[in-house]
Chains A and B, each alone.
Chain A
Amino acid sequence: MAIETALPASRDDIVSLAGLRQEPDWLTQLRLEALESASRLELPRLEKMRLDRWHIDSYGKYQPGRAVSSLEDMPAAVKELIGAASPGGLFIQRNSAEVYVSLNADIAEKGVILADLQKAAKEHGDLVRKHLFSVVRPDENRVTALHAALFTGGIFLYVPRNVELELPLQALLISDDKEASFSPHILLVADENSSVTVVEHITSVEGTSLVHNGVVEVVAKAGARLRYASVHNLGSGTTDLTYRRALLERDAKIEWIIGEMNRGDTMTETFSVLQGHGSSSDSKVITVGTGDQKLNLTTRAVHVGKSSESNMITRAVMRDHATAIINGITKIEKGATHANGEQTERVLMLSPTARGDANPMLLIDEDDVKAGHAASVGQVNKEQLYYMMSRGISRDEALKLLIYGFLEPTIKEIPLELLEKQLSELVERKLGHR
């Protein structure tokens, strides 16, 4: 039975915001329906965690933000995060809707669209409407429903057929206004045989106690190849609820590289639907749990297409009193012959009061397939420590190298040097090494 709880917004709120944002009717309708679903649907059920006990009610208020025409108009803190990177395109969102977008001329010429999603809903209405919420549906649970009703800002990226982009596209979404809502929706559509790399960094300042209810939808048409890197660095007061999902058609490929570096409670799901024959997905997730934070991280692959492949690796380092439930779900549907699904979950415990659970799940409904999993939860390997010390490296230094080395293989996969460096620093900070 669904519990009647107060929703963070009312129908009137949505309608008036729609007017403010000059939203197309179909979108407003979608939001209203989602709001209605939200009152009926339940929260997603998490393994060994009570999501209903988390702080998930403060969505904040929508703040329109100024029009930003140049990077110079952005605060110093934002500029610092962008640094000296020179990507093919840059998208910055501050708080609810303050957006700066720039795209290299030669990339734009190829028909690539990189835009603020709310604007794109008007200017590229057909394209957006066709794909929005086609991968993550509003009626899945209360969280997705609220997201659909309340999402603010966000990105629309469209890469046309056969367009291959060498330079990565960089996105920075930052919350520095404690009152402003911050729940962006990222919609990425890669048309047939296109290829693109997106590097996304979502961060908030300390002192905000909002919910970041975010969704990343990726539509990968036949033969498309994507790399999606994401670093989440939200403050201790922010609760992160994020769904990332890719729908892959025939021979499409996605590589997810995820750094969950929040300081607050986090529930994320990184999910690849291998719909088409020969589609494949590779996901690498790392996290460092600190303080009292609760982490519920799920990586998921569903094989529908024949000869589809998935590989999921999650590595977590747990300190202090942090709790992590790491789930790996590989599902092979009947008909997905010659599918191959592998997953690995590794948790490194550095504190006797921290908690790490690795839950691998293989759900297989087809015979001629390969699937495997490896899960381990353990402390620092003493043989490795001894080996390092036997070469003269001090215990502290050896521990640092071992712990950092545990996460390093994923860190070095981040396709933008600047973000790789930032992730590296975040890891070191969370490990207490700086």
Chain B
Amino acid sequence: MSELNFTIKGLKAKVQDKEILKGIDLQIKGGEVHAIMGPNGTGKSTLASVLMGHPAYEVTGGEVTLNGDSVLDMEVDERARAGMFLAMQYPSEITGVTNADFLRSAINARRGEGNEISLIKFIRQMEKAMQELEMDPQFMHRYLNEGFSGGEKKRNEILQMKMLEPKLCILDEIDSGLDIDALKVVAAGVNSMRSPERGFLIITHYQRLLNYIRPDYVHVMMQGRIVKSGGHELAERLEREGYDWVKEELGIEDETVGKEETFQMPMNTIAPKL
């Protein structure tokens, strides 16, 4: 695998006529762990969704490349097969599709026709990964995320990440809703995947996670932009002092993306283009 080079230049995006991302610049190289922090409503999760290609968001400017290839030209599944992975904040529950079948379909989609993973190898790898993440092996036969607690869903995201071996891993608030023990297990899972060919973009609200997954770079997002970057000591200062000093330093009064939270139409009432 070659060295990773994931570049975001001037990325702008909106949802339903409201601009959320106002020009994001970021570069992630293989072996690097970048953390994005910021108060609520600043566009952090939007960035994750836009990078993955969520249909609710419209890119209005900028470019994103993965090892030279334009990501924005790719469909969601193409981006995944190209090596991107997003561990979601609210993973979907899908009745009727088991966790095992789903994971195997995803692996085979990546491997391509004629090169499917053997069942035995798959089961062995999966059981090992589940053991490391302290997951009940029975979960594999349950429907995708159905009846899973928040913590279990997050662990399932990391499990999928381990099995799919992506090049760029985006973790969207992987620590929200986790107790300290679950957090340690998840962090250990992520750390075990750090390698020179892989990059991480960790979106977090709380600094706590970064005690366990030590970032190389920390960025602060406000008003849909990255307003400050630094090393781990930036995260420590934010933990001690909060975000006010950043706002003062930059003359920002309202760090959120807009005055009011516009009502988001629930996804399933928007007519799809099948």
Contact = CB atoms under 8 A, between A and B. Distances in A.
Interface of A: 350, 378-395, 397-399, 401-402, 404-409
B164 interface: yes
A387 B54 CA distance: 9
A391 B270 contact: no
Interface stretch (B103-111, B123-131, B188-196, B245-253): B103-111
B80 A384 contact: no
A383 B55 CA distance: 9
Contacts of B80: 389-393
Contact of A393 (B85, B105, B271, B272): B105
B274 A383 contact: no
Nearest to A378: B268
Contact of B76 (A389, A397, A404, A408): A389
Contact of B106 (A378, A392, A404): A392
A401 B92 CA distance: 14
Contacts of B102: 388, 391, 401
B97 interface: yes
B77 A408 contact: no
Contacts of B105: 393, 397, 401
Contacts of A385: 272
Contacts of A380: 272, 274
A398 B80 CA distance: 13
A395 B78 CA distance: 10
A397 B96 contact: no
B95 A406 contact: yes
Contacts of A404: 96
Contact of B109 (A379, A382, A394): A394
Contacts of B81: 392
What 10 A-B pairs have minimum CB-CB distances, sorted nearest first? A405-B96, A408-B96, A392-B80, A391-B106, A387-B92, A389-B76, A392-B109, A389-B77, A405-B97, A392-B81
Nearest to B270: A382
A394 B77 contact: yes
A34 B211 CA distance: 81
- Interface size bracket, B side: 20 to 34
Contacts of B54: 386
B267 interface: yes
A181 B182 CA distance: 65
Contacts of A407: 96
A389 B106 CA distance: 9
A381 B267 contact: yes
A430 B155 CA distance: 37
A390 B109 contact: no
A413 to B, nearest CB: 12
A397 B85 CA distance: 18
A406 B54 CA distance: 23
20 contacts: A379-B274, A381-B268, A382-B267, A385-B272, A386-B92, A387-B92, A390-B52, A390-B80, A390-B85, A391-B164, A392-B110, A392-B164, A393-B105, A393-B109, A397-B109, A399-B274, A401-B94, A402-B97, A405-B96, A408-B95
B88 interface: yes
Of residues A387, A402, A404, which shows the largest number of chain B Cβ atoms within 10 Å of its Cβ? A387
Contacts of B95: 405-406, 408-409
Contacts of A350: 274
Contact of A401 (B53, B55, B97, B164): B97
A384 B143 CA distance: 13
A391 B95 CA distance: 17
Of residues A386, A405, A407, which shows the largest number of chain B Cβ atoms within 10 Å of its Cβ? A386
Interface string B53-78: 11100000000000000000001110
Given A382-B268, A382-B270, A401-B105, A391 B94 contact: no
Given A386-B54, A390-B80, A401-B105, A395 B75 contact: yes
Contacts of A409: 95-96, 143
Interface of B: 52-55, 75-77, 79-81, 85-86, 88, 91-92, 94-97, 101-102, 105-106, 109-110, 143, 160, 164, 267-268, 270-272, 274
B97 A395 contact: no
B94 A388 contact: yes
A204 to B, nearest CB: 29
Contacts of A381: 92, 267-268
Given A390-B80, A392-B80, A406 B96 contact: yes
Contacts of A389: 75-77, 80
A386 B95 CA distance: 15
B182 to A, nearest CB: 21
Contacts of A399: 274
B274 A384 contact: no
Nearest to A410: B96
A378 B270 CA distance: 11
Contacts of B92: 381, 383-384, 386-387
A379 B272 contact: yes
A398 B268 CA distance: 16
A387 B79 CA distance: 13
A422 to B, nearest CB: 19
B143 to A, nearest CB: 8
A89 B271 CA distance: 50
B26 to A, nearest CB: 20
Contacts of B106: 391-393
Given A385-B272, A398-B77, A409-B96, 13 more contacts: A381-B267, A386-B76, A387-B94, A388-B102, A390-B77, A391-B80, A391-B85, A391-B102, A393-B106, A397-B105, A401-B97, A401-B102, A402-B97
Contacts of A406: 95-96
B267 to A, nearest CB: 5
A387 B101 CA distance: 15
A402 B105 CA distance: 13
Given A390-B86, A392-B77, A392-B164, A383 B267 contact: yes
Given A389-B76, A392-B106, A393-B106, A405 B94 contact: yes
Contacts of B76: 386, 389-390
A319 to B, nearest CB: 12
A66 to B, nearest CB: 44
Of residues A392, A402, A407, which shows the largest number of chain B Cβ atoms within 10 Å of its Cβ? A392
A402 B54 CA distance: 18
Nearest to B79: A390
Contacts of B110: 392
Contacts of A395: 75, 77
